[in-house]
Amino acid sequence: MAIERLHVFPGGPRRKPSRGFTLVEVAMATAALGLLAAIAVPSYSRVLERQKINQCAMDLRNLALRIDHYRTQHGSPPNSLADLGPPLPKDPWGQDYQFLSFDAAKPGNIRKDHNLHPLNSEFDLYSVGKDGRSVPPLTAKPSRDDVIWARDGGFVGLAADY
């Protein structure tokens, strides 16, 4: 029969290495993942929103080209976007693009900048943006997220940036 020897070390008995994580280690890893998610999710949301705005600006440019083609054929802009014929795209938020021909518009419905000058010379073309609401002055809160076609195509982007 063999006798087992007991090894005694100066710091006390030797412990076997554990195979799991301690509660503190799990809590630290969870906190680190939570911190990364708190930083990454809003950044990703901003990237997605910027992509929607860029897609909307591209759609507005394409619609403006179709309006210009219509004007070339008929001598004046259309009365509505429906006059352009299908397909008419929806904005990235699922709303119809807005169009207002100045020939048929009431003066109070024409969108204006902060100096109260009309945005365009013949028509307004814009998306109501993420909130789905808009009013004629761009300085109003419901209009700040609108994507607009202004200066007769010299500016296409967020109303807040105009």
Residue 17 and residue 146: Cα distance in Å, rounded?
61
Residues 6+ apart with CB under 8 A from 145: 129, 130, 131, 158, 159, 160
pLDDT tens for residues 59-88?
Answer: 999 999 999 999 999 988 999 999 998 899
What is the secondary structure of 94-160 as a DSSP string? SPBPEEEETTS--GGGS-B-TTS-BS-SSEEEEE-TTTT---SBTTSGGGTT-EEEEGGGTEEEEGG
Residues 6+ apart with CB under 8 A from 46: none
Structure tokens at 31: 């906190």
**How many Cβ atoms from other residues are within 10 Å of residue 113's Cβ?**
17
pLDDT given for residue 123 in this prediction: 92
pLDDT tens for residues 34-55?
Answer: 999 999 888 899 999 999 999 9
What is the value of pTM for the model shown? 0.75
pLDDT tens for residues 19-28?
Answer: 788 999 999 9
pLDDT given for residue 138 in this prediction: 85
pLDDT tens for residues 80-125?
Answer: 999 998 899 999 999 999 999 988 777 778 888 888 888 999 999 9
